[in-house]
Amino acid sequence: MEIVIATRNEGKLQEIKELIKGLQVEVLSLKDIPEVPVVREGGSSFRENALMKAEVIASFTKKVSIADDSGLAVDFLKGEPGVYSARFAGEDANDGENNKELLRRLEGVPISKRGATFRCVIAVVTPEGKKDIAEGECRGIIQFEEKGEFGFGYDPLFFVPEYRRTFAELSPEIKNKISHRAKAMEKLRVVLKEYLKTEKTSVEKG
């Protein structure tokens, strides 16, 4: 079965590929389908954005499509940056600029008030319109400076108390066991296995 991962974010793509490893699927990304339409994330929630992307891509490609919308919700900032995580410092901001903006907004805020949650919603939509949603989250603390070489996005600032490391200091193997995306994908693997089982049954009957 071919599955389209509806992202152009290389870091996100590699994480999802790793998390569905072992399933009998061929993974395509939006880079493999250059003519695919660009989907603007105009929703007010991660769930809305993930579904919107998956629906558009499934309809266009006629393949099972997976879309992830995720981001950081900082307690002190009343849930910001939230759905604006990828463009917190501006529409075309990169990871470094977003991290600087987050540190600026938290300047002078003590560690006791820098709690945050990484949230992930993954939607899978079939060409026939069947939809499933999986969600995951991970609690942490926003550090005062970036640390670590791994990961992407806010990973260098997101400190996980249980490991005494930021996401960017953890190896990809460890991060892919505890992250918000890992928890969502663990649930989604169950859904994908059912899809594969249904497809196999259909082929055998045909």
The runs of H, that is alpha helices, within 108-206 are 172-178, 180-205
What is the pTM (predicted TM-score) of this model? 0.87
Is residue 4 within 8 A of residue 56, CB to CB? The reply is no
* pLDDT at residue 202, as a whole number: 55
pLDDT digits 0-9 by tens, 87-121: 999 989 999 999 999 999 999 999 999 999 999 99
Of 7 and 88, the structure prediction assigns the larger pLDDT to 88
Of 18 and 75, the structure prediction assigns the larger pLDDT to 75
Residue 74 has pLDDT above 90, yes or no: yes
Mean pLDDT of 147-166: 96
Cα–Cα distance measured from residue 158 to residue 119, given in angstroms and rounded to the nearest whole number:
12
Helix axes 10-19, 180-205, angle to 10 degrees: 60
Six token digits for residue 193 = 């296995």
pLDDT digits 0-9 by tens, 13-44: 888 888 888 888 889 989 898 888 888 878 89
CATH code at 48? 3.90.950.10
Residue 200 has pLDDT above 70, yes or no: no
Mean pLDDT of 147-167: 96
* pLDDT at residue 203, as a whole number: 45
Residues labelled catalytic: 69
Strands (E), 15-61: 26-29
- 3-state SS, residue 34: coil
DSSP assignment letter at 75: T
> Among residues of the chain, what percentage have pLDDT more than 70?
96
Radius of gyration in angstroms for the set of CA atoms belonging to the chain, rounded to a whole number:
18
- 3-state SS, residue 161: coil
Per-residue pLDDT band for 201 (boundaries 50, 70, 90) equals low
Domain that holds residue 28: 2-205
Mean pLDDT for the chain overall: 92
Q: Domain tally for the chain? A: 1
